[in-house]
Amino acid sequence: MSVPKLNEKEVATLLADHSDWSSARDGAAIQRKLQFADFSEAWGFMARVALLAEKHDHHPEWFNVYNRVEITLTTHDADPDNGGALSQRDADMAEAIDALL
């Protein structure tokens, strides 16, 4: 199932509305890096994001070391031949993640 990609204006709005996120993968993704007090706090945040991901049926790529979490959002179905692109799913997920913080 193909998902519509965001156009350049929509990507610019996404990044303006979520200034803690940055463009990644040559504009095909957005990324946010977070630091917490300790591993337990980082893991708790990831658990809350996991519940959101299930609810939104849109799952992040992420990396965790101790108190650091890096989240990457892209929609693989938006451009499957090139590994993904940004879609409204990513904008909605970024908004939901930001609301947790």
Single out the residue of 14, 12, 27, 20 nearest to residue 85, CA to CA. Answer: 27
Q: What is d(CA 22, CA 70) in angstroms, rounded to the nearest whole number?
A: 11
Question: CATH second-level architecture of 8-100?
Answer: 2-Layer Sandwich (3.30)
pLDDT at 16: 97
Give domain limits for the chain. 8-100
**C-alpha radius of gyration, the chain, whole number:** 13
pTM over 0.75, yes/no: yes
Query: How does pLDDT run along the chain (101 residues), one tens digit per residue?
Result: 689 999 999 999 999 999 999 999 999 999 999 999 999 999 999 999 999 999 999 999 999 999 999 999 999 999 888 889 999 999 999 999 999 99
Which helix or strand (DSSP H or E) is residue 42 part of? helix 39-56
pLDDT at 81: 85
pLDDT at 85: 96
pLDDT at 2: 80
